[in-house]
Amino acid sequence: MLTPAQIQSLAPDEPSMKSGKGLSVRNLWLTACRTERSLWGEIKGSGSKPYQTQVDLQNLAFKCNCPSRKFPCKHGIGLMLLWANDAFAVTQAEEPSWVAEWMDKRVAKAEKPAEPKEQTEDDLAKLKKSKQKRADDRMMAVEAGVGELTLWMSDLVRTGLLQLPNKDRSFFEKTAARMIDAKATGLASWVKSLGKINYYKDNYIWQNEALIILAKMHLLTTAFRNLESLPELWQHTIKSLIGWNQSPKELLADESTAIIKDIWIVVGQETTTEEDIIIQRSWLIGINTQRSALILNFGTRFAPLDISVINGSIIEAGVVFFPSVWPQRAVIKLQNRVLDQLPQSTVCLPNIDALYEYIAKVYAEYPFATDICCLVSDIRPLSNEGIFVGVDKEGRYVQILSDMETDKLIQWLAITGGDFYDTAVIIRNNKMLPLGIIMDNKYVLI
Amino acid sequence: MKQSWTEIMSSALLGTDKRPLDISILPEDVKLELSQIGPQSPENTLLKAAAIHHFYNQSGTEAAKLKSDVAIIKIEESKSYIKRNYINIYHRITETGYYEKEYLLNLWLDKVIGQNSIAAPEIILSIINLGTGLSKSTRKKILTILGERAKAILPLKPDFKTKELMVGGIDQWKEGSPEERRSIITDLREKDATKAINLIKEDWATETIVFKRTIIDLLSEQTHPIELAFLKSLYESEFAAKPKEKKTEIECRALLAKSLLKDVNSILYQTTLHHLKMYAGQEKKSGIIGLLTGSKERVIQVPIVVDTFFNGENMLYMYGIDPKNPDAALYKTDMIYWFSELLTILPLSTLMSILSKSKEEVLEYLVSHDDFKAKIEGKEVSVLLNALSENVKNNRDQELLDFILKFDTNQQKYLLLQYSESTFYEAYVIKEKLFLDAQVITHHPATNEDWSPYFSTKMLEATYKSLVVDKKHYYDKINLLMAKHLHVSSLSRLEDMYQSAVSDHYKEYWISHVYKPAKTSIEIKSSISQL
């Protein structure tokens, strides 16, 4: 069962959540029932017939015949909240036809994806040829872009980074645009990040940030120039960093990709907006495989984010990873059910020393790693000389990421009461971002 | 490592043209890596060295250790956490509107306090955030239901102003801000008036005049019998009239006089009664009754020239009344003005005794006698009416209020309703059908309780009729107040109205602005009462 906080994360906006809360009262619903796989209810609206609201609990999805264009609508949120706040308010019943039909269709679709159109050998040959041509063209464009960027970086280093604070935004934007033209969007992002540094900050900070970005870009462009000599997995990784798209559809369709079945905790979620594109990052940790996975969701103002990955939820699912030297980005291929609590204890890194060893191992395998997500045993929050840290029982600590919201830190203190708990964290720039704790076999978000 | 990174950084900042990187100072491992790559341009060498150095550094970092051993401090709670049903109601309260939220929260807090429970960890942050910006009394209640772990968090939430709530300590009385010190006395007076007055007396000599006025104001508002002796001594000594007084000192005396006049045993009251009796006289009744019967009535003959009582100096010395008549058109003589000022603080029983009249007769006399009338812009007005209105505020005299409401034609008279008792107020509003008068409804004296069931139903019916039947909007604040104050018993009437067949823009407006918020609030109140 989802918690009210998780349901809140599904709401498209604040007014919808507020309206949903208003509807989470049992006597407003004519019916409110559920099975193991579904939840449904009927509620009186402004029309003559009541609205029919239904929720797929296994593979979270909503449907309602109200006229709202918001998704999920206030009725969907209200029904979920009703159930979350009072399990007895929703009765066990057999699915009526309007629920059973929708659920059966969804189950069938999940089990059997649409068959691709049959193609002749001729079609396939043409397709292959055009695909190869596109790949060749792209490679040429990127090679040109990489050459240009190498020159740009060399010029910067030759003349000195002290000039950077005096450069206006267009200096970086122009080069980023050139990289986009060269179909190297990954490199464009690196250039932009160089432009986004706060050059009015402490000199030491901006100088370090700038040099590290340039060093990583240099490493990446050098690796790209040596692409053919690299193992296949590294080629995939480098190309992905440079900007080659990774298609979730292709990944899901590829039967050869291994499906990692596990009980996954959605340990954290972060939503950012970059140039009108909403990017949602969801971090998952498998309790048996101890693997971490990053699910990316993209949306715009007009195309809302997919809401199937709920922050803090525990799901039994099969996950497929994009090929990489350090596979992190993944897609959920099949989701069986949502669990109320963890069926077994989770294996965590035993302490902060072990966490550092793990980080070192990750960097050794993959120096471009940014967010390292893992579970660490017995961590507690502590204010150490005015700076918040996550500390283990041996007194080893990691500084908390400075841009973590104060209220989240307070929430962490409130939930733990200063006690040690197994904690899901992200290590970013050698600092810690706590995401949630395991308490009484449940995962509690911070 | 640090030194070599500084070296790399220096070359990067100045540029390899000016300062090529000297790889000989780099750590052996980095040098080895660079040598394996082969000869490079100075720029490439620098960037490669930076990359290798950064990754070595990043992956080789060791965890820092706290200077002292970390004690495993698990915060233990002595009280139990509130149960799930309490939490659910709390979440519903957070979703209500601004007007009803604090009221509902207080009802809920009272229940939690009664249960001797504390806020569950999952709502600690939320309730602290919710409390920030709410009244001090609400925050005090919140503080009561915060357990040890929540209290450990409070220093991180300065906006909650915890310090302001920790009143009562002798240290805070000695060192707190005037506002905090006033709170201490307010709280202490409720619990132990003797202790409060002793605390006041203890430091009185060293208090500032402004703070003294604050305290006198507080005491004079509703004086406890035990405080009278102290106020009397102040009136007679420290704030007795003297040459070259400060304005604040005169204000203090006025407040003291107000307080002492409420006590029929005080010397000030007795002196005032004695003086006023001397102005009591008899005159023929006015109008046809007087002509026919020749009967006489007792009156106050306010002198037309200054005398030993009605003079500026005496008024200032005895009552702290500003001797200067501010409106010569309204108050024909200074004596009438002083009498009017006296009337603002004098209990009407004084005049009843002097004139041997009932309260109603006294009031009738005061507002209709020619001596107390003036012509303003061609209209005859009662010059003592404002003083009588002030008297309602000072003495909370319901009969006087009733009289003024009948007599006064000024819309401002409704503001006096806030000084009435709820039953009086509601009966008056129902009788006068003032349900849609925002100025009246917003001054219901029951600011922190439900309206009576009958009044709630009447309010509902009146607003429904206006909005849905007559299609006339009224001031929206009335809806907000209904959401806060409607009695739980009015839910059935509310539902009946909701079920009625009309469906248009006005009904929709009624549903969203009256029905939904009121229903939610009533449901929450019911849930709280069942806890």
pLDDT 10s digits, B30-72: 888 888 877 788 999 999 999 999 988 888 888 888 877 655 5
pLDDT over threshold 70, residue A103:
yes
Residue A43's φ and ψ, nearest 5 degrees, are -140, 145
Is residue B14 within 8 angstroms of chain A, CB to CB?
Answer: yes
**Pairs of CB atoms within 8 A across A/B:** 152
Of B16, B62, B125, the CB nearest to A407: B125
Tens digits of per-residue pLDDT, A249-308? Answer: 889 888 889 999 999 999 999 988 887 888 999 999 999 999 999 999 988 877 777 777
The two tokens of residue B483 are 């959401």
Q: Which residues 63-82 on chain B approach chain A with CB closer than 8 angstroms?
A: 63-66, 69-70, 72-75, 77
For the whole model, what pTM was predicted? Answer: 0.77
Is residue B210 within 8 angstroms of chain A, CB to CB?
Answer: no
Mean pLDDT, rounded, for B353-375: 89
Of B75, B150, B156, the CB nearest to A406: B156
Disruptive mutation site among B10, B13, B521 for chain A (greatest number of A CBs within 10 Å):
B13
> Tell me, what's the ipTM?
0.79
Tens digits of per-residue pLDDT, A142-188? Answer: 999 999 999 999 999 999 999 999 998 899 999 999 999 999 999 99
CA distance A327 to chain B (A): 19
Q: What is the per-residue pLDDT for B168?
A: 60
Q: What is the per-residue pLDDT for B186?
A: 87
Using DSSP, state whether B215 is helix, strand or coil: helix
Cβ-Cβ contacts under 8 Å, B74 against chain A: 417-419
Per-residue three-class SS string for B108-158: HHHHHHHHCCECCHHHHHHHHHHHCCCCHHHHHHHHHCCCHHHHHHHHHCH
Is residue B91 within 8 angstroms of chain A, CB to CB?
Answer: yes
Q: What is the per-residue pLDDT for A434?
A: 96
What is each CA distance from A288 to A209, A313, A342, B486, B494, in whole angstroms? 37, 16, 11, 56, 55
- Whether B63 and A215 lie within 8 Å, measured CB to CB: no
* pLDDT band at residue A123 under the 50/70/90 scheme: confident
pLDDT over threshold 70, residue B479:
yes
Residue B452's φ and ψ, nearest 5 degrees, are -70, 155
Of B64, B125, B520, the CB nearest to A414: B125
Cα separation, A175 vs B88, whole angstroms: 54
Q: Which residues 135-174 on chain B approach chain A with CB closer than 8 angstroms?
A: 148-150, 152-153, 156-157
Disruptive mutation site among A214, A394, A413 for chain B (greatest number of B CBs within 10 Å):
A413
- Whether A207 and B61 lie within 8 Å, measured CB to CB: no
Q: What is the per-residue pLDDT for B167?
A: 60
The two tokens of residue A186 are 């990954």
CA distance B151 to chain A (A): 10
pLDDT over threshold 60, residue B489:
yes
Cα separation, B59 vs B51, whole angstroms: 12
Q: Cis omega (within 30 of 0) on the bond before A72?
A: yes
Of B16, B150, B516, the CB nearest to A22: B516
Of B9, B41, B91, the CB nearest to A4: B91
Q: Minimal Cα distance from A153: which residue of B?
A: B43
- Whether A414 and B50 lie within 8 Å, measured CB to CB: no
Which range is least confidently modeled, A344-353, A399-408, B184-193, B403-412? B403-412
Q: What is the per-residue pLDDT for B309?
A: 92
- Whether B51 and A218 lie within 8 Å, measured CB to CB: yes
Mean pLDDT, rounded, for A346-360: 94
CA distance A163 to chain B (A): 8
Query: Residue written as tokens 């980095």?
Result: B30
Disruptive mutation site among A46, A157, A203, A204 for chain B (greatest number of B CBs within 10 Å):
A157
Q: What is the per-residue pLDDT for B488?
A: 94
Better pLDDT: B509 or B2: B509
Mean pLDDT, rounded, for B377-382: 86
Tens digits of per-residue pLDDT, B113-130? Answer: 999 999 999 999 999 999
